[in-house]
Amino acid sequence: MDGLMDLARFLDVTTATAASAARPNFGNVHYERRKSPEQPLELFEFEGCPYCRIAREAFSALSLDPIVYPCPKGGELFREKVKREGGRYQFPYLVDRNTGVSMYESANIVEYLFQEYGDGSVPWFLRQRSFAVTTSMLASAFRPTRGRHAVRSRQPEQLLELYSYEGSPFCRIAREALCELELPYRLHNVPRRSPDRGDYIAMSGKMQVPFLNDPNTGVRMFESDEIRRYLYETYADGGAAR
């Protein structure tokens, strides 16, 4: 049994690493952030979507900390809100209550974020649309069953918090579990050179991601495999990790 678990873990990390390699170092490094929003931005997305990945890379590059509302296929919690507010089921979908802006389309979201919160200059790996889409689709192909489909769960009273950055394969594994369980969370992006890393290290004790904080239970933990197991045992109907 231990051998099978070790093999499953090896395959999980290997495919997550391959997905990161398809978009190498994109979203891993901080770019100039001119200001921070007073109210958190809201991002409706799902982890396996290649277009959502492009939007998340922009959030990560700017060290912006949105509230993420996972909208996996078959989900019943947040997909309807997107349809109700935006008019159609399409992801990603951004809501910025600071400016009254809401929008679809990853390219538009990227441009908006860098214009509103960055220095106006979009990095090449996000600006080259065909390259971004093609490589993001390739990244999704390495994880075809993860972060796409909803699993029945119970909702926490308070938002979970995940400290992460987009290009990390281990962070991907944690985000996939949050997405599958439709657990909304505050995503704290701490890429290299982020001005927010100091506060994160002071809080967590070291520079390691992912890091989950669950204020509902008082649990705080590193390690993607442990985070996924914890989320399923705590919030999935039946409690069995996938």
Give 172's pLDDT tier (boundaries 50, 70, 90): very high
239: left (phi over 0), alpha (psi -120 to 50) or beta: left
Q: Is residue 242 part of a domain?
A: no
Q: Is residue 241 part of a domain?
A: no
Cα radius of gyration rounded to whole Å, the chain = 17
pLDDT over threshold 80, residue 239: no
**For 43-99, how does the pLDDT look when each residue is reduced to its tens digit (9 = 90+)?**
999 999 999 999 999 999 999 999 999 999 999 999 999 999 999 999 999 999 999
Domain span including residue 65: 2-235
How large a percentage of the chain has pLDDT more than 90? 84
CATH number, domain of 29, equals 3.40.30.10
**pLDDT at position 240, please?**
56
**pLDDT at position 242, please?**
56
The CA distance from 26 to 5, in Å, is 30
Write the single-letter amino acid at 66.
Answer: P
**What's the total number of domains in the chain?**
1
DSSP per-residue letters across 111-178: HHHHHHTS-SPPPHHHH-HHHHHHHHHHHHHTSTTSSSB---B---SS-EEEEE-TT-HHHHHHHHHH
The CA distance from 49 to 143, in Å, is 10
pLDDT over threshold 90, residue 19: no
**For 178-187, how does the pLDDT look when each residue is reduced to its tens digit (9 = 90+)?**
999 999 999 9
**Continuous segment of H or E residues that includes residue 45:** strand 42-45
Q: Is residue 240 part of a domain?
A: no
pLDDT over threshold 60, residue 241: no
Q: Is residue 212 part of a domain?
A: yes
pLDDT over threshold 80, residue 9: no
Write the single-letter amino acid at 40.
Answer: P
